[in-house]
Chain A
Amino acid sequence: NSERKKGGRKLKPNCRRRSLYVDFSDVGWNDWIVAPPGYNAFYCDGECPFPLADHLNSTNHAIVQTLVHSVKASAVPQACCVPTELSPISMLYLDEYDKVILKNYQEMVVEGCGCR
């Protein structure tokens, strides 16, 4: 509240999942990746404010770090907004020997973000 009164500074949004679409044609990979044409990778961004709310999916350590940061900001950084849950994607592509491969890659899509 005091910050808002002083400078009217805009508060940064809280930590959450943001949209990020990776299009394979942007990097010219659509000639060897058959499917999908791209995928929703997502990313995590935002503040981990004190006090940490439950929906920010924080660890006990992040709660302590955020608490210390709130009183001693110069010495201790804020907890990080990072992916806490990831899911795999399937990719159908041609390898360097022209063989068709279907592979599942783990931890490619951000499903959830949190303060860690």
Chain B
Amino acid sequence: ESTATRMSGDGEDSKLTVGTASNGGKGSKQEVIQAFESSLLSMFGLKSRPRPRKNPVIPQYMLDLYLEQVKNPDDIQVNFNIRDKSVSSANTARSFFHRETEEDYEESRVGSSRHYRFQIDTIPDNEVVTGAELRLYCQGINISSPMTNTDDRPSEYQFLHRINVHEILEPADEGGESIKRLIDSKVVDIRNSSWESFDIRPAVAKWKASQEENHGVEVELTEVQNSQISPHKDHVRLRRSSDLAASEWQRQRPLLITYTDDGKRPTRSKR
């Protein structure tokens, strides 16, 4: 460290630079950079230096979470302080997209339900899942003419749709049906555009403990009024429609966010 890092200036603005003040060779400079990098990667909990592909997709929600976190630089907390979520002890948030290849599976296209499987095995073993949310984008539909009121209920009901999220406990075998359980549900107004969040922590915590049990989740869209398949199923961006541009789909596709706690607590100084 003494030969590698030089802090220019004494008491003035300094900038960490990797220098070769003492022995100068190109090889030693590389070694120093590698040593510097490996010690920092270890501190960050990474095995190797990430080599991201070009133009990686950064979900807007992650950027928003970051901006929320650094809004007041003097008051950054080690743990996230996310409103309405019991993730208080989490210090790490990860985002996952589902595996796109599954979109081609015929069984996932049946009706207005959609099957998603997220690979969460990249979460380190030492981290505890304290929260997980599935975020779905609902694109508001502009309905100009009033819908036909078929019964005595107010027509307002016809704009309300229910989104059910099921955990798949056992996948469907040939000709059969999958075994699933409802883990979260929400009613949305199809005239509004919004991101809806579903709490799927129990399922994600189970998948992390046992990867074999990760059969994914199924999202189902029904009308509130008569529990039938919604005629406006494109309202919720469950799959990419043919007329949707790739960049638009990347912004609107379902997203899983996990909140984990790596157990590293702030050290308390002894008096």
Contact = CB atoms under 8 A, between A and B. Distances in A.
B186 interface: no
Contacts of B10: 13, 18, 45
Nearest to A59: B271
Contact of B92 (A18, A21, A32, A102): A102
Interface stretch (B73-81, B142-150, B245-253): B73-81
Contacts of B52: 31-32, 94, 98
Task: Give the 10 A-B CB pairs with smallest separation, nearest first.
Answer: A32-B50, A90-B69, A102-B93, A94-B52, A92-B66, A97-B122, A103-B92, A104-B91, A100-B95, A19-B13
Interface stretch (A47-55, A69-77, A81-89): A81-89
A96 B47 contact: yes
- The dominant DSSP class at the B interface is loop
A99 interface: yes
A32 B11 CA distance: 31
Contacts of A95: 46, 50, 122
A58 to B, nearest CB: 12
Contacts of B264: 106
Contacts of A32: 49-52
Interface string B75-116: 011111000000000011111100000000000000000000
B179 interface: no
Nearest to A104: B91
Contact of B94 (A20, A34, A101): A101
A26 B17 contact: yes
12 contacts: A20-B14, A22-B16, A45-B10, A90-B76, A92-B58, A100-B94, A100-B95, A102-B62, A102-B92, A103-B92, A104-B79, A104-B80
Contact of B96 (A36, A43, A99, A105): A99
Contacts of B91: 103-104, 106
B157 interface: no
The secondary structure that dominates the A interface is: strand
A106 to B, nearest CB: 5
Interface string B246-266: 000000000000000000111
B168 to A, nearest CB: 22
A21 B65 contact: no
A100 B78 contact: no
Interface centre among B18, B44, B65, B265 (most CB of A within 10 A): B44
Range of interface residues on A (Cβ < 8 Å): 35 or more
Contacts of B122: 95, 97, 99
What is the size category of the interface that chain B forms with chain A? Answer: 35 or more
B66 A89 contact: no
A106 B17 CA distance: 23
Contact of B70 (A13, A36, A98, A103): A36
Contact of B50 (A13, A16, A41, A94): A94
Contacts of A19: 11-14
A45 B10 CA distance: 9
B23 interface: no
Contacts of A35: 63, 66
Nearest to B14: A20
B94 A99 contact: yes
Interface string B7-42: 100111111111000000000000001001100000
Contacts of A94: 50, 52, 56
A94 B37 CA distance: 16
A27 interface: yes
Nearest to B94: A101
A88 B46 contact: no
B226 interface: no
